[in-house]
A = this chain, B = another copy of it.
Amino acid sequence: MSNPLDNAQTADTPGTPVEVRDRVLATASALFYRHGVRAVGVDLIVEKAAVAKTSLYRHFRTKDDLIAAFLQREDEDFWGHWDEVARRHQADPVAELEAHLHWIGERVGRPHYRGCPQLNVAAEFPDADHPARQVALVHKREMRRRLQGIAERLQVQRPDELAGQLSLLINGAFVSSQVLSSGEAIPLLQASARALVSTARQARHQP
């Protein structure tokens, strides 16, 4: 029963359950991100993924669940990058923060960047009880939690405050691509962060 090769027999053999699920989720993610969630119907997803509609609904109970899975996938991808960058700067929180802002700013400046998926979905679905909103909330809390970890390693007096400030900054970059000229996000983010960190550190030495 539990053959490790059960799934992914060759390169991409359609008919394998996990392969179909992944294909649906990957296709839906791309479409959701590009066109917005409400603008994309399940029929389009099914067509682009070359999958039967029944298969979609076998792996995802409802469209809302698929949306939540989309955000979950983006969440994991995001922290995957984060962890990789963090690992390269274990000993130096200043360099780590700088590096995070670099790759985030690079993403923001990409040609067809469409904003943070979590924030976009939150804008599309006001109901806080929506399953996808739960994922988005956890994602944003995790962002602030990790920033606070860096702030603590920076030994500022109020790491929570600095983390909040950096959160505003990063979320602001996510939604400001419309008004930012190409390549502007990175220096803007880094210069702002330097000012915030520097000020927070000065406060440490003053009563």
Contact = CB atoms under 8 A, between A and B. Distances in A.
Interface in A164-195: 164-165, 167-176, 178-180, 184, 187-189, 191-192, 194-195
A198 to B, nearest CB: 7
Interface residues of A, number: 48
Interface stretch (A2-10, A42-50, A63-71, A116-124): A116-124
Nearest to A136: B178
**Main DSSP-derived SS at the A contact region:** helix
22 contacts: A36-B124, A38-B39, A38-B124, A114-B126, A119-B123, A120-B123, A124-B124, A137-B178, A140-B178, A140-B179, A144-B179, A165-B188, A165-B195, A168-B169, A169-B192, A170-B172, A171-B172, A172-B173, A175-B175, A192-B196, A195-B195, A195-B198
Interface of A: 34-36, 38-39, 114-115, 119-120, 122-126, 136-137, 140-141, 143-144, 161, 164-165, 167-176, 178-180, 184, 187-189, 191-192, 194-196, 198-200
